[in-house]
Amino acid sequence: MIARAISSANHLQNTWKGKKVMANRAKRPCNYPGCRELVSSGYCTKHTKQSSEYRRGTAHQRGYNYKWSQYSKRFLKQPGNHLCVLKISPQCAYVSECVDHRMPPKGPDDPLFWDKDNHQPACIPCNSMKGNRIVKGG
pLDDT digits (tens, 9 = 90+) for 41-93: 888 888 876 655 556 778 888 899 999 999 999 999 999 999 999 999 999 99
Query: Which three-class secondary structure state does DSSP give residue 56?
Result: coil
> What pTM value is reported for the model?
0.59
- Dihedral (CA of 71, 106, 117, 90) sign: negative
What is the rounded distance in angstroms from the CA atom of residue 52 to the CA atom of residue 124?
A: 27
What is the rounded distance in angstroms from the CA atom of residue 131 to the CA atom of residue 89?
A: 12
Name the band, by pLDDT with cuts 50, 70 and 90, for residue 138: very low
